[in-house]
Structure formats: C-alpha cells, structure tokens
C-alpha cells in the first residue's frame, strides 16, 4: 500500500512480523507498506489496484500495530478518475505544445493541470486522473510539475484510460455529458467506441 509519492525521496524500510514499513529517511514519515500473508484474511481476489473497505483497513491496522509500528491507515474510497470541466486554459510560457488549465474536479476550487493534448479547449468536459490514481499501465499519478509549472493530476485520453477500441491518435477524451467531480464510469466507457 503506497501512501505518498516517493519520487526523489531517500527511503528505508523496516520489516517486522510480515509487515514492511517504507519510510522517508529525513522525516520518518511512512510512504508505504507491504503486507505478507494477509491476502486470504482480506478476501482479496482481484489483481492490480485494490480498493479496501473499512474492515480490511482495520485488519491492516491491526497487523501494523502487532508489528510494533504506530502508523494508522485510513480508507480512501474517493474516486480517482473523475469528470473535470476545463474552466480556463492558457499557453505554457516555456513550451510550444503544453497548456495550463484550471479544471473543476468537484473540489473546493479548480485544480491546475498541465496538458499537452492538441485538442484541449476551455469549456470541455474531460476525464481527470487525480493524485493517487493508478493508470491501466500501472503508472501512479501524483502532483508534479511540467517545465516548471505545477500540475495536480492528468487529463486523460481514451487510450490512456484503456478504453477498448480507443482512437490511436493523440488527444484527450472529450465527454458529451457529466458533472465535475462525478466518478468516471469505466463500464459505460467500455462501450464508447463499439
């Protein structure tokens, strides 16, 4: 279980009772855990990214405590792929193809996302992978910067989302309907290009 972006962090780990705590060397903050031998107890059957319920998180917290660690996990069941509305868009000052958007994703205020898609426009409904999202390729999305401009998430193409029969050309997926912050429906999207 990964708790934070660990890029550029010097990290160490400690293994006790089949629980590995991965932590930031400088702050001792936990950035991830590996648990061994709990798959059956957690009743895990799927592969890839797993969304835990409160009971499963409680089992993991019990294992953490029994191993002698003081960290506590909290279930985060908020959607990581949501509909976004591109409220504003301007050109990136240090790129001929990047755009800086202010995108409403249903949070208190719009988030800034840098996007390189040639078809991005103000006013569009798009699919946003928020920090903590795991793309179908296994890539994790975290806040970052593109050419010195902060970016909080990623505006996605149908191909990046792994939608069957997605167009192979460059460009984000533009939606016809939806509300900012609403979870993106992958089941419905699977029929989008039939």
Q: How far apart are the first and last CA of the chain?
A: 35
Phi, psi dihedrals of residue 61, rounded to the nearest 5°: -65, -35
- Whether residue 72 is contained in a domain is answered as no
Arithmetic mean of pLDDT, 5-16: 79
Residues 60 and 101 both lie in one domain: no
Residues 34 and 112 both lie in one domain: no
Counting residues of the chain whose pLDDT is more than 90, the rounded percentage is 71
Residues 93 and 127 both lie in one domain: yes
pLDDT for residue 194 is more than 90: no
Distance between CA atoms of 1 and 181, rounded to whole angstroms? Answer: 25
Distance between CA atoms of 132 and 109, rounded to whole angstroms? Answer: 19
Residues 61 and 154 both lie in one domain: no
pLDDT tens figures, 84-113? 999 999 999 999 899 999 999 999 999 999
Residues 106 and 57 both lie in one domain: no
pLDDT tens figures, 151-184? 999 999 999 999 999 998 899 999 999 999 999 9
Residues 47 and 141 both lie in one domain: no
Q: What is the pLDDT of residue 44?
A: 82
Residues 58 and 85 both lie in one domain: no
- Whether residue 5 is contained in a domain is answered as no
Domain count, the chain: 2
Distance between CA atoms of 152 and 142, rounded to whole angstroms? Answer: 7
- Whether residue 32 is contained in a domain is answered as yes
- Whether residue 143 is contained in a domain is answered as yes
- Whether residue 76 is contained in a domain is answered as no
Domain that holds residue 48: 11-66
The conformation of residue 140, written as its DSSP 8-state character, comes to B
- Whether residue 71 is contained in a domain is answered as no
Residues 55 and 142 both lie in one domain: no
């Amino acid at each position: 279980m990964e708790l934070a972006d660990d890029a550029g962090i010097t990290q160490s780990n400690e293994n006790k009772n089949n629980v590995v705590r991965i932590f930031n060397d400088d702050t001792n903050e936990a950035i991830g855990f590996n648990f061994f031998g709990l798959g059956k107890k957690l009743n895990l059957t799927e592969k890839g990214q797993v969304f835990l319920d409160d009971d499963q998180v409680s089992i993991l917290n019990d294992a953490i405590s029994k191993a002698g660690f003081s960290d506590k996990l909290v279930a985060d069941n908020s959607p990581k792929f949501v509909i976004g509305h591109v409220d504003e868009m301007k050109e990136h000052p240090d790129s001929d193809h990047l755009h800086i958007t202010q995108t409403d994703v249903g949070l208190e205020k719009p988030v800034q996302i840098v996007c390189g898609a040639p078809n991005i426009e103000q006013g569009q409904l798009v699919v946003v992978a928020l920090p903590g999202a795991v793309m179908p390729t296994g890539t994790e999305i975290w806040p970052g910067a593109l050419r010195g401009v902060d970016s909080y998430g990623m505006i996605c193409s149908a191909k990046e989302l792994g939608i069957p029969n997605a167009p192979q050309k460059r460009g984000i997926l533009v939606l016809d309907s939806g509300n900012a912050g609403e979870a993106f429906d992958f089941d419905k999207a699977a029929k989008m290009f039939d």
